[in-house]
Amino acid sequence: MRPGWGVAFTDTGAGSLSVSLPAGSAALQHRAALRSTLGLAQDFQFMTQVHGREVLTVESQGEQPTADGLVSTTLPLAVMVADCLPVLMLAEGDDSILTAAVHAGRQGVAKGILPHAVERLRQRGAERVEVWIGPSICGACYEVPEEMRAELATTIPEAFSETSWGTPALNLRAAATAQLRGIGVTVHQVEACTLEEPTLYSHRASQQQGRPEGRFAGLIFPMQKVGAA
């Protein structure tokens, strides 16, 4: 991405990174193992996600804040998902690299959390914002009621989709991409469908197919910390 900065998306091999899902989660051990594997000097900063629009700036490690977006110049950031979009942002600020990790489900996309996060970066002098959208449920699998499709597609036409079996659906990836490109952001895609790919956690697959429940993560981190004491 930039010298000294990395982006990654975990899969089920890293275990669930949610402290509440599944019940009796070993997430803290999984998070520690992830940090060790990457050789980072600091823990990833996670958040308690609530399908809102709150984007917080964090520069010191702490408890999980309640938010759906985090911005930092120093901390490794993480966003957890299991069908929603994990969105990672990087930009050059006035005198530093600025990063963000954002959780964008249907509600978050509708509330404009992604343009809001970009605006937060730009308020801090960010230029040339680049975004990586990770694995999520695809537009051919994300079945929703017709009313729900119409509600989002009215404001973001790119969200309109149909399942592979012919019922109403939403394409959150296309909607998010349209929002971001519309404000001059470069978008990169990691296109994998969580419902179709068994090595990714999926809320719908856990409900419909009996797959294990959990959350995988999108990660953005300062690689210059690798190997530090």
Residue-range domain boundaries for the chain: 5-225
pLDDT at residue 4 in the model: 85
pLDDT at residue 2 in the model: 73
Model confidence over 139-171: pLDDT tens digits?
999 999 999 999 999 999 999 999 999 999 999
Contacts of 51 (CB under 8 A, 6+ apart): 68, 103, 105, 107, 108
Of 95, 121, 97, 92, nearest to 180 by C-alpha is 121
pLDDT at residue 225 in the model: 43
Per-residue pLDDT band for 224 (boundaries 50, 70, 90) equals low
Residue type, 225: K
Per-residue pLDDT band for 7 (boundaries 50, 70, 90) equals very high
Model confidence over 69-128: pLDDT tens digits?
999 999 999 999 999 999 999 998 777 899 999 999 999 999 999 999 999 999 999 989
pLDDT at residue 229 in the model: 34
Query: Is the pLDDT assigned to residue 228 strictly greater than 60?
Result: no
Residues 1-15 have a mean pLDDT of: 90
Query: Is the pLDDT assigned to residue 197 strictly greater than 90?
Result: yes
Query: Is the pLDDT assigned to residue 227 strictly greater than 60?
Result: no
- What average pLDDT does the chain have? 94
Per-residue pLDDT band for 1 (boundaries 50, 70, 90) equals low
pTM: 0.94
Q: What's domain 5-225's architecture? A: 4-Layer Sandwich (3.60)
